[in-house]
């Protein structure tokens, strides 16, 4: 299972390609890519969003289900999804879910 992530061009915010095709600021809203077709479609959407100057350098990440919740496999992506582990008051972990881009 994968998702497509990037940073938003205008402010650098970490975003994921969302279920409705917009880019969302929380991993919970990410479109889950479970087939090669879904991955290809997402990558095309990423290239389009890059060309439209919405996001920078989109790339795929691996996800797993942990205790019923979606979580990135790599630690780096876990930190991107939440914020600095040393500053719980900063980053996504510090705020409630919002939509984006």
Partner 1 sequence: MYRYDEFDAHFVSARVDQFRDQVRRRLAGDLTEDQFKPLRLMNGVYLQLHAYMLRVAIPYGTLNARQMRRLAHIARTYDRGYGHFTTRQNIQFNWPRLKDVPDILAQLAEVEMHAIQTSGNCIRNVTADHFSGAAADEILDPRPYAEILRQWSSLHPEFSYLPRKFKIAVTGAPHDRAAVQVHDIGLQAVRDAEGNVGFRVFVGGGLGRTPMVGRLVREFLPEADLLAYSEAILRVYNRYGRRDNKYKARIKILVHETGLEELKADIEAEFAEIRDGVLRLPSSEIDRIAAYFAPPAFAAADGDEAVLEAAIAADPALAAFAARNVHPHRAPGYASLTISLKPIGKAPGDATAEQMEVVADLAERYGHDEIRVSHEQNLVLPHVRRRDIPAIHAALAEAELAEANAGLVTDIIACPGLDYCALATARSIPVAQRISERFAAPERQREIGDLKIKISGCINACGHHHVGHIGILGVEKKGEEYYQITLGGSADENTSIGEIIGRGFSYDEVVDAIEKVVDTYVGLRETPQEDFLSAYRRVGDQPFKEALYGTA
Which of 1, 28, 85, 95 binds partner 1 (CB under 8 A)? It is: 85
Q: Does 4 interact with partner 1 (rule: CB under 8 A)?
A: no
Select from 76, 96, 67 the least CA-distant residue to 59: 76
Residues 17-76 binding partner 1 (CB under 8 A) are 50, 53, 56-57, 73-76
- Closest approach of Cβ 44 to partner 1, in Å? 18
Q: Residues 6 or more apart from 70 whose CB is under 8 A from it?
A: 1, 3, 27, 28, 30, 32, 63, 64
In the sheet that holds 2-8, the strands lie side by side as 23-24, 14-17, 2-8, 55-66, 69-72
Nearer to partner 1, 38 or 93 (CB): 93
> What are the residues binding partner 1 (CB under 8 A)?
7, 9-14, 50, 53, 56-57, 73-76, 79-80, 83-87, 90-91
């Amino acid at each position: 299972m994968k998702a497509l992530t990037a940073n938003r061009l205008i402010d650098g915010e970490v975003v994921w390609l969302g279920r409705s095709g917009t880019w969302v600021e929380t991993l919970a809203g990410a479109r889950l890519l479970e087939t090669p077709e879904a991955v290809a479609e997402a990558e095309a959407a990423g290239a389009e969003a890059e060309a439209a100057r919405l996001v920078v350098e989109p790339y795929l990440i691996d996800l797993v289900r942990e205790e019923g919740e979606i979580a990135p496999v790599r630690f780096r992506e876990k930190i991107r999804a939440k914020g600095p582990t040393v500053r719980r008051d900063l980053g996504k972990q510090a705020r409630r879910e919002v939509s984006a881009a």
